Amino acid sequence: MTRIAAALLAAIFVAPLPAGAAHARPMRDVSAQKLVLEDFFRGPLTAQGVFRNTRDGTQRGLKVRMNGRWDGRTLTLRENFVYSDGERDVKTWRFTKTGEGTYVGTREDVIGTADIRQDGDAVRLAYTARVKTQGGSSYNIRFADLLRKTGPRDVLNTADLSFLFFTVGTVELHIRKGRAFR
């Protein structure tokens, strides 16, 4: 490399930025996007999404109205489900904070407790729930949920569902703070 080429490269990498260039692309404030359950899920929320059966390819839409209450130790989240086939269901989560970014969760259909952990800016839930079929049978289904903020009022909840180590379905649920979905 000639001295002139080396000097040009050095000038490009060492030259000061033009005025204002340092502020042209603000750094993303990761802490502003961190999902804190007791903050986000307090008050009214709405959600809509879809369950996909990975075995036969069918889909089932769902809408949920939620209301969360935080008492300083436990977040109680009441969920009212309406499925696209007309079925309705009500579930109540209780997330008890056990440490910084860790919780233990219970719900009517959860076997034992759910393990809930902060994972960077997201929250992961792992639990087994007894799921009833339309035919009256029930199965113990393992859920692996990931909740991630997509905006100041929005969370995306994705979940993988498995039975005996085989994936049987997925859920994608868009949750919004307030009563935004109809």
Domain assignment present for 23: no
Per-residue model confidence as pLDDT tens digits over 29-80: 444 589 999 999 999 999 999 999 999 999 999 999 999 999 999 999 999 9
Q: How far is CA 51 from CA 60, 61, 77, 143, 148, in A?
A: 5, 6, 20, 13, 18
Domain assignment present for 99: yes
Q: What is the pTM of this model?
A: 0.79
| CATH code of residue 90 | 2.40.128.20
Q: Radius of gyration over alpha carbons of the chain, in Å?
A: 23
Domain assignment present for 63: yes
Domain assignment present for 27: no
Residue pair 175/155 in contact (Cβ under 8 Å)? The answer is yes
Token output for 7: 């000097």
Residue pair 113/129 in contact (Cβ under 8 Å)? The answer is no
Number of domains in the chain: 1
Find the domain containing 168 and state its range. Answer: 35-177
Domain assignment present for 18: no
Domain assignment present for 11: no
Quick one: average pLDDT of 140-162? Answer: 96
| Phi, psi of 32, rounded to the nearest 5 degrees | -70, -25
Name which residue leads in pLDDT, 179 or 118. Answer: 118
Mean pLDDT, the chain, rounded, equals 84
Beta bridge partners of residue 74, listed in sequence order:
96
Domain assignment present for 65: yes
Token output for 126: 């792992």
Domain assignment present for 26: no
